Structure 1
Amino acid sequence: MHNVSNPFQACNDIFFKPNGVFKAVGEHNNWSWMPFILIMAISLVSQYLYVNFVDIEWFAEMNIAAQGDMSPAEEEQMKAFFTRSALLWSSVIGAFFIPIVINAVYAVYVNLATRSDDSHVFGFTDWYGFAWWLSMPYVLTGLVGVALLLFTGDHQVAPSILSPASLGFIASIPMDSPWYAFGQAVRLELFWGIYLATVGITQWTSFSLKKSALIASAPYLIIYSIWLLALAVF
């Protein structure tokens, strides 16, 4: 198996030779600080650049339009929230805390789902570090998104520009569409992460590839199926 000797090499090899990376990460759990730092850096920088670039009045109007029927007073109240400063703080705080919480929930899930493994040796903190490696594809697409933002001349641009591999960006789903959030969530990184999770679970447990793939994909299949059904019905 491919040998990974340090966390810097692991951050590169996770895209090409993930088996060796997960083997090494299982033996050096402090390596997971590297993807955490990279993911947080690209997330915070991209949000900062976007908020300071976008036409804030246009952004407010698009978000108000997405809410549907609102009274003039409600529109004014909502518009008052959309100052550049308020949006910057909410975006940066969200970019920092949301992945921390999501990865913690995912770690709980995988820890419970792998308890039946006879060779079970990894606990919550191990799987929490594991979760950050699954998010590494967001670093690549995040860099592409930042490049697209820096080279665009139109300040009336949706946040989907920061997710260039998402269905929302590719299909140009407008912000006032009920499908916008779903389109943002369906992205290449999601499927790439499921693949990495499958590889990692196979490496860290005695489970078969099929069972590992089921564990890796189950929460997304359930969540996205319910989300899609809700959009179709309502």
Structure 2
Amino acid sequence: MQPKNPLQASLQIFTKPNGVFEAVNNNDNWSWIPFVLVMSFVLLPLYLYYNFVDFEWYRDYIVNSTAGNLSPAEQNNIRAQIRPDFLVVGILIVAFLFQVIVNLVLAAYLNLVAKTDEECINGFTDWYGFTWWISLPSVISFITAILVLALAGNNQMPISELNPLALSYWLGLGEDSKWFGLANLVKPELFFSIYLIAVGLSHWTKFNRAKIYTVAIAPFAIVITLWFLLIVIN
């Protein structure tokens, strides 16, 4: 069953994605809703965290974990530059731009691959809208982060603890670990998003099943592999 509006589609993407991608393909301007939702899921936990955490403790934590080998004078200089207002605004801007750029790259990839299907009439803007629908599983991290903040016993908590479903959390990796970023990427919504890409491709292209899953998995497999190799080499 196809949803009748983008809000309904945003809910059905978790239970009836087939109907969602059919509806999105037949309706213009629906993708603004998942864009707003995804950005909210990404930015709101960060905003709440930095308004919750003991900032003096957080500043010391950052300095000790990233500049512990520097002299006390150099560490104090870094501390003086970490101001809550600029830090929060900066992190929110970076997070916003990062999500936009990641989706742009993914859309460019999907658009390029889709051109091998002569019957596919979707262009780059269609695929860019598509990326916001497959990003909606970020609600999983949003919900867990809100629960962690609500149940936190104290406000001296590393930001890594906001993501208890990530592999980095289960491996006990801190932000100072070279493996943290890669392990933090591996979480349930990653696999859900890959599945949604496959579902969307099955409706927007005439690719066979093997090609659909190859296309869906390939960009993430490449990123993870290259990231892993860079860590090992360095």
TM over 0.5: yes
**Counterparts of 1:65-214 in structure 2 under 5 Å?**
65-67=64-66, 69-214=69-214
Whole-angstrom CA distance in 1 between matches of 2:165 and 2:156: 20
SS of residue paired to 1:214: helix
Q: TM-score scaled to structure 1, two decimals? A: 0.92
Distance 2:169 2:28 in 1: 35
Counterpart of 2:54 in structure 1 is: 55
The alignment partner of 2:175 has SS state of coil
Shift of the alpha carbon at 1:52? 1.1
Once the 2 structures are TM-superposed, how far is the Cα of residue 138 of structure 1 from its aligned partner? 0.5
Q: Deviation per CA, 1:16-56, whole angstroms, max 9, x where unpaired?
A: 11111111111113111111111112222211110111122
Secondary structure of the 1:169 match is helix
Residue type at the aligned position of 1:36: F
Residues of 2 paired with 1:29 and 1:144: CA distance? 32
Work out the number of aligned pairs and report it: 233
Q: Is the 8 A contact 1:166 1:188 kept in 2?
A: yes
Q: Note the aligned Cα RMSD (angstroms).
A: 1.7
Conserved 8 A contact 2:140-2:189: no
Structure 1 stretch displaced more, 107-116 or 149-158: 149-158
Q: Unmatched 5+ residue regions in structure 1?
A: none
- Structure 2 counterpart of 1:107, which letter? A
Q: How far apart, in 2, do the equivalents of 1:216 and 1:66 lie?
A: 36
- Check the 8 A contact 2:52/2:155 in 1, yes or no: yes
Structure 2 Cα separation of the partners of residues 120 and 53 of structure 1? 48
Question: What CA distance in whole angstroms lies between the structure 2 residues aligned with 1:114 and 1:71?
Answer: 54
Tell whether the 8 Å contact from 1:47 to 1:92 is kept in structure 2 after alignment. yes
Distance in 2 of aligned mates of 1:29 and 1:14: 17
Distance 2:160 2:58 in 1: 12
CA distance in 2, matches of 1:184, 1:60: 22
* 8 Å contact from structure 2 (residues 141, 163) kept in 1: yes
Deviates more, 1:60-69 or 1:222-231: 60-69
Q: Per the alignment, in what secondary structure is the counterpart of residue 95 of structure 1? A: helix
- Taking a change above 3 Å as real, the CA distance of residues 99 and 32 of structure 1, as seen in their structure-2 partners, is same
Query: How many angstroms apart in 1 are the aligned matches of 2:61 and 2:39?
Result: 27
Deviation track 1:50-94 (CA, whole Å, cap 9, x = no partner) reads 011112233233333443533444323322232211221112112
Aligned to 1:32: 31
For structure 2, list consecutive stretches of 5 or more residues without a partner in the other structure.
none
Q: Are 1:26 and 1:204, in contact at CA under 8 Å, matched by a contact in 2? A: yes
How far does the alpha carbon of each residue in 1:136-185 deviate from its partner, in whole angstroms, 9 at most, with x for none?
11013212211211220222212223323211223332222222222221
Question: What's the % identity of the aligned pairs?
Answer: 39
* Segment drifting more, 189-198 vs 92-101: 92-101
Query: Counterpart of 2:219?
Result: 219
Structure 2 residue 4 is matched with structure 1 residue 5: yes
Aligned partners of 1:36 and 1:186: how far apart in 2? 22
Distance 1:143 1:79, change over 3 A: same
**Mapped partners of 2:175, 2:219: distance in 1:** 26
Is this contact kept in 1: 2:160–2:174, CA < 8 A?
A: no
Query: Could you say if the C-alpha distance between residues 79 and 25 of structure 1 is closer, same or farther in structure 2, counting changes exceeding 3 Å?
Result: same
Runs of 4+ displaced beyond 6 Å: none
